[in-house]
Amino acid sequence: MRFTVKHHSPIKELKKNLRLEALGRRDILDVGYRIEASMRIADIGLSDFELERGAIVSGFWPIRSEVDLRPLLFGFRERGARLCLPVIIDKQTILFRELVRGVPMVETGFGTAGPPEDAVVLDPTFMLVPLAAFDARGHRIGYGAGYYDRAIARLQEIGVNPRLIGVAFDCQEVEIVPDEPHDMPLEAILTESGLRRFGRTDKAS
Residues annotated as binding site?
A: 15-19, 66, 140-148
What residues form the annotated binding site for ATP?
15-19, 140-148
Return d(Cα 26, Cα 20) in angstroms, integer: 10
Which residue positions form the known binding site for substrate? Answer: 66
Among residues 185, 191, 198, 200, the alpha carbon closest in space to that of 45 is found at 191
Return d(Cα 196, Cα 136) in angstroms, integer.
Answer: 8
Whole-angstrom distance, CA of residue 28 vs CA of residue 124: 32
The Cα-based distances of 15 to 27, 35, 37, 179 in angstroms read: 18, 27, 25, 10
- Report the C-alpha dihedral over residues 99, 100, 104, 109, rounded to 10 degrees: 0
